[in-house]
Amino acid sequence: MIFRLQFQPSNKVIMLNTSVHIGSLKIKNPITVASGTAGYGEELSMFMDISRLGAIFTKGLSLEPRAGNMSPRIVETPSGILNSIGLQNVGIEEFLNEKLPFLLKKGATVIPNIAGRTIDENVELCRILTNTEGIDAVELNVSCPNVKEGGIAFGRELSVFTKLIQKVRKFCNSVLIIKLSPNVSDITDFAYTAKEMGADAISVVNTILAMKIDIKKGVPYFKGKVAGLSGPAIKPIAVRMVYEIFERVDIPIIGMGGICNINDILEFMMAGATAISLGTINLVNPVAAIECIEKYEQYLISEKINNISELVGVAHRNTMPH
């Protein structure tokens, strides 16, 4: 999005371009909300104008509705949360009939998150969604740690990962974003493979495998034993992974993992992220994304940055964009 900004007393007009490209998709600014933390946009729309967001990544979708995991499903940790939701969602039919029309009516940029149990289910979800009016990109979730089928196996076994993306790409008529798992020995191998298989962009990172023990019962707190850790506690890990991926691949990176404020956003961008997603902070402060958009615009003005390319990856160039 381009704004005309009037400065006093010189009355000099500066054109501030906040838009970024994720493959062929142009979004109005790089501040998005991450899948699983913003529902289907209806929840956040009670607190903000969701059309101001760069994009909304929806809750992970499957062909049929999913009830998710048994409770308990979420618990606070120092500087974060553990969750074991299990990809609870309404299913593709209700999403297309009820959720998507609401989002489009509100003027939001919608990027559905695809979370099928099998390769074939992911292919079918991608085929349906990318042939739906109003959807110009999808995010393929290969990294959920809280489901027994699909999810984590797709994201941790390179051969399965490769096969999945090859098949999905053939039926994807829109921008294809791959959401990577941090629970691997070298995430850059998966980023490189995603690009080679035709991905337009990658999301980095999903939650980190973690555990809590119920000390009263002497057993794991969650029924599935492990859960996904998110929030500020994982930010330094996520920044490192974005930095490493930027040095190996040249497709856009959407950075996420513990982002709470403008300083966090700048870290991710300087490490190499073209856009970012706010996640756990949405549960703490539902207007955090709007606050970050305003702070981001103020930063660009104060630093006289007219194009995001001056900022993305600056930590690799060891120069500030002045």
The domain tally of the chain equals: 1
Residue 178 resides in a domain? yes
Active site residue: 144, 172, 260, 292, which one?
Answer: 144
Residue 22 resides in a domain? no
Residue 117 resides in a domain? yes
Residue 12 resides in a domain? no
Calpha distance 142→70 (Å, rounded): 22
Q: Is 172 a catalytic residue?
A: no
Residue 23 resides in a domain? no
CATH number assigned to the domain comprising residue 183 = 3.20.20.70
Residue 90 resides in a domain? yes
Residue 11 resides in a domain? no
Per-residue pLDDT of the chain (322 residues; tens, 9 = 90+): 544 444 344 444 556 889 999 999 999 999 999 998 888 999 899 999 999 999 999 999 999 999 999 999 999 999 999 999 998 999 999 999 999 999 999 999 999 999 999 999 999 999 999 999 999 999 999 976 545 554 456 888 899 999 999 999 999 999 999 999 999 999 999 999 999 999 999 999 999 999 999 999 999 999 999 999 999 999 999 999 999 999 999 999 999 999 999 999 999 999 999 999 999 999 999 999 999 999 999 999 999 988 888 899 999 987 665 5
Give the range of the structural domain holding residue 284, as residue numbers without chain letter: 30-317
